[in-house]
Amino acid sequence: FDTYSDDALYALSLLRAQEPCNKPAVGGFSAGANAALATLNRAPREFAGLFLYEGTFFTTDPTIAQHNAAICTDLESKLSHGIAYDASAAVPGLVLQLAQAAPAAPFPIPVFPPGTTNEQAMFYVFGSPPPPGAFAPTPGFVRCITDFSTQSFVYTNEARLKLIGPLFDSYASVAAMRDLACGLGGSDDSHYDRVSEFKGDVLIYVEGTGFGPAMFDTAGLFGPRATVRIDQNAQLGEADAYFHRDWNRVFLAPLRSWLHATL
């Protein structure tokens, strides 16, 4: 995340050269939220606003911390052995592409029960907690609430999910995964230790099966001069708001309203 925040701070310098009197907002979705938090932490007085959609390095919840501590140790070991990336990040995008191209065909990777189709694999991946690892930052992490009896998403627009799916990551940085797990595990505060200096506006999205308590804990990091707004949808999965059938109302409208008030 130092690399991400370096890039963001370089972009910030260009913006400030053009608009020296105006401070920008920074934010993101999932890993983008982590990058935004790390960026703000590098320069907490240089931004007018921060929005975080289901992504943070911080929690006081003992269950989440314990869940991530072992993951942190494993990822640090991988880094020490020169392992720089994790190809399993490509699975969600691959699952969506196969489910769209050949929904009834057998899923080619033997990680699900024999006979699992590409479409069924899609519901497994997005509707069930992943195996323990950095892609499961909380024990009950579920991307999209799924009705397995009808093989359908409850809130997510499947066509929208499949449209955006090919843009998902092809791999994940082990260093970034380590930052996430070690932050949540309580052994690294370097990406949030200065956010209390921030004096702007904060928008935090909290869905029901995402980072959960960690997002509320993160809201508590900000000092009294920051204004924090929480947009909570307890019934939704981690990604349901963004892929929602009515995503303009559920995701975009709160963000647009906040941006108009902030900038």
What b/e readout covers 52-63, taking b as 16+ CB neighbours within 10 angstroms? bbbbbbbbebee
pLDDT digits (tens, 9 = 90+) for 158-200: 999 999 988 888 889 999 999 999 999 999 999 999 999 999 9
Q: State the chain's mean pLDDT as an integer.
A: 92
pLDDT of residue 1 exceeding 70 = no
Residues 201/258, Cβ–Cβ less than 8 Å:
yes
pLDDT of residue 4 exceeding 70 = no
Task: Report the C-alpha gap between 141 and 152 in whole angstroms.
Answer: 18
pLDDT of residue 3 exceeding 70 = no
pLDDT at 58: 98
DSSP letter string, 96-120: HHHHHH-TTSBPSSTTS-TT-BHHH
Task: Report the C-alpha gap between 112 and 225 in whole angstroms.
Answer: 50
Quote the percentage of the chain above a pLDDT of 90.
81
Task: Report the C-alpha gap between 117 and 115 in whole angstroms.
Answer: 6
pLDDT at 107: 96
pTM listed for this prediction: 0.92
Quote the percentage of the chain above a pLDDT of 70.
93
CA-angle at 248, arms to 245 and 250, nearest 5°: 75
Closest CA to 51 of 39, 36, 64: 36
pLDDT at 135: 79
Task: Report the C-alpha gap between 40 and 242 in whole angstroms.
Answer: 23
pLDDT digits (tens, 9 = 90+) for 49-91: 999 999 999 999 999 999 999 999 999 999 999 999 999 889 9
pLDDT of residue 103 exceeding 90 = yes
